Chain A
Amino acid sequence: MVSRQGRRRLAGIVDTLALAVVLASAFAVAPAAAQDRATPRAVPVLVEKSADGGVLAAVPPLSSAVIDTSGTLSGNATSRIEARIATFEEGTGSQLQVLVVPTTGDESIEAYANRAFEAWKLGRKGVDDGLLLVVAKNDRQARIEVGYGLEGAIPDITAGRVLDEYVVPKFRDGDYGSGIEAGVEQLIRLAEGEALPPPEHGTEDDVSGQALLLLVLLAVVGGMVGSLKGVSWPWMLGATVLACVLVAALMPGMFVAYLLSMPFTLVFFWPLGWFLMQSGKARWWAGAMLALVALAALLVQLFGGIKVMAGLGIVLAAAFLCVFLSLPVLGATHAWKHNRTGFWVRACVWIAGLSFALYAIASADWSIDTMIPAGMACFIGTIVLFATALPGGSGSGGRSSRSGSRSSHSRSSRSSSSSSRSGGGGRSGGGGASRSW
């Protein structure tokens, strides 16, 4: 028979152990999340001087499929080539990039092309189906750099032949635009011959997701209307089934799949709609949710799915931050009022922890690899430190820090790219061919 005192002590020990496990997992997870990128430090994109003082050409940022820093290509030629590349990329999912620079400086065109490929990460991650055509106009050198995944379709000899037969002859005549166009066309033909995994068609996914959502909504609304007095619910059920079949018919090729999913959505969501109408509060909540969903659908149609998701993501992240940071704030005020010494102890520990984290970041040259785990450690440490001052023990603190680590983990591993063109994470091993004219 354990006494009340003993039980409280036991609960305290269990709480402490739980917190320790949570902290340990947070610290173990954070470096792993940061290490999701390639282990060696990423090659800097813009560099002017190499280690031995030579002048290196800068790798321009990846803004479009054809980058011309030497002003050789006309606007017409550029847009033609970009359009051709765009059709190719949408059809296969690979990435083809054209780069025209005046010179590659002191380094060879092979080293420059490899550096650019590494910086941009052309091609899909894992598939590595990237292609890079670099022309150094004043150096009179051209190179095709081939990603790992395309080395079967475009081995070195073939890349050399593309340059020899299609690109360099036109360059010798001074016609850079048609030379690059011909080279790009050949590379596309070769790459399309390769059996690569099919691309992810974003538009199809969006539409199918919206159709599914529509089915669910139809079921819920059908249930809600069917529960109203004066409405015969078997007729309502029939009308809902008919509406769902119509929606499924709108999806070509997926008709049978949607038909098969209909029983499930109806069984789950029609009664949900029904029961939502039973209580007044549930009715208000259901109405508000439906309005929100309608608003979100409207926004997606107006602004495009990605921007709305990004906006929603930011709003949710900010909300999470406020909720989780309110805990230590409450704890701190509570400690200030009731346990002054405890407050000061915690404040000292917090300041020491923060300065240690800042020192660690600064000594690692402010790299993102140390900032993420250090930042997460500070965040979790702050919550835990002051949440334990709240009455009711650290049970709530443990819960909040656990979900805090989960949300910040997902935040850190999500990558954000605001430019319209970005590399897919592919790599190249230095394969391809170079030619001079």
Chain B
Amino acid sequence: MRLILLMVLAALLSGCGYNQIQQKDEAVNAGWSEVLSQYKRRADLVPNLVNTVKGYASHEQQVLTQVTEARAKVGQINVNADDVASLAQFQQAQGELSGALSRLMAVVESYPNLKADQAFLNLQTQLEGTENRITVARGRYIQLVQDYNTYIRSFPQNLVAMMFGYKTRPNFTVENEAQIQDAPTVDFGNSAPEAPPQPAPAG
């Protein structure tokens, strides 16, 4: 009798996993802060970059305006990592900034003086480093969210999660990214390059 009671107690206590849910939840939060800080780091590099490029390529108004606007849009967004729509909107805005930056880099290729400028080279190194940091932070965040979601949905933790109101968290998606980040072919023959399709802002 005593033994059966013990076994039941042990099974219940081992199966709850409440502590683990807390740990994984906090890990996801930490991963999200890391992602946000790396994105902010990139956004902080953009004004310097735009000014440096303007010094050499002031006629490339369209591309420079696109970059500045994309950055302003990113700065205005207040993202909530638990809301699917909010996260999708944030991802789209960051994707637009990435696209605008890659277009800017494509344009810079035709200005050899600019490419040799030490300030620009430094900014380019910093930008590449920041993009890599973003990739690493996103990769880690995606893994953390997967880990958390899988844990919350497995038995018997899902019972505890349901009891305490823990839901699965949204994750970064890859599909719309590829669409936005398409670097268009730069045609040097045309005077006005074709404007890339602007994705309608969500909600």
Contact = CB atoms under 8 A, between A and B. Distances in A.
A433 B123 CA distance: 12
Interface in A18-42: 19-20, 23-24, 27-28, 31-32, 35, 39-41
A110 B122 CA distance: 18
A428 B136 CA distance: 9
A24 B129 contact: no
B9 A429 contact: no
B70 to A, nearest CB: 22
Given A24-B13, A114-B136, A19 B6 contact: yes
Contacts of A349: 3, 7
A142 to B, nearest CB: 14
B128 A433 contact: yes
B153 to A, nearest CB: 14
A157 to B, nearest CB: 5
Contact of A432 (B2, B13, B34, B129): B129
Interface residue range, chain A: 35 or more
Interface in B1-28: 2-3, 5-7, 9-10, 13-14, 17, 19-20, 23-24, 27
Contact of A20 (B6, B14, B34, B135): B6
Q: Which of B3, B23, B38, B130 has the most CB of A within 10 A?
A: B3
A40 B143 contact: yes
Interface in A386-401: 388, 394
B179 interface: no
A431 B133 contact: yes
A388 B1 CA distance: 12
A136 interface: no
B62 interface: no
Contact of A377 (B14, B38, B133): B14
B6 A156 contact: no
B196 to A, nearest CB: 25
B183 to A, nearest CB: 16
A102 interface: no
A178 interface: no
A430 interface: yes
A66 interface: no
A24 B137 contact: no
A40 B28 CA distance: 10
A244 B19 CA distance: 51
B51 interface: no
Contacts of A160: 121-122, 125
A382 interface: no
Contacts of A159: 129
Interface string A24-62: 100110011001000111000000000000000000000
B147 interface: yes
Contact of B132 (A24, A110, A155, A385): A110
Given A23-B10, A377-B14, A39 B27 contact: yes
Interface in A324-351: 345-346, 349
Contacts of A394: 2
B142 to A, nearest CB: 9
A373 B17 CA distance: 12
Nearest to A158: B125
A108 to B, nearest CB: 9
A12 interface: yes
Contact of A28 (B3, B19, B126): B19
A350 to B, nearest CB: 11
A32 B147 contact: no
B9 A20 contact: yes
B140 interface: yes
B97 interface: no
Nearest to A432: B129
Q: Which of A24, A159, A430 has the most CB of B within 10 A?
A: A430
Contact of B125 (A19, A39, A156): A156
Contact of A35 (B23, B128, B132): B23
B122 A157 contact: yes
Contacts of A429: 34, 38, 133, 136-137
Nearest to A20: B9
B144 interface: yes
B125 A16 contact: no
A216 interface: no
29 contacts: A16-B5, A20-B10, A23-B6, A23-B10, A24-B10, A24-B13, A27-B13, A27-B14, A32-B19, A35-B23, A39-B27, A40-B143, A110-B132, A110-B135, A156-B129, A160-B122, A349-B7, A381-B10, A394-B2, A428-B136, A429-B38, A429-B137, A430-B132, A430-B133, A430-B136, A431-B133, A432-B132, A433-B128, A434-B128
Interface of B: 2-3, 5-7, 9-10, 13-14, 17, 19-20, 23-24, 27, 34, 38, 121-122, 125-126, 128-130, 132-133, 135-137, 140, 143-144, 146-147
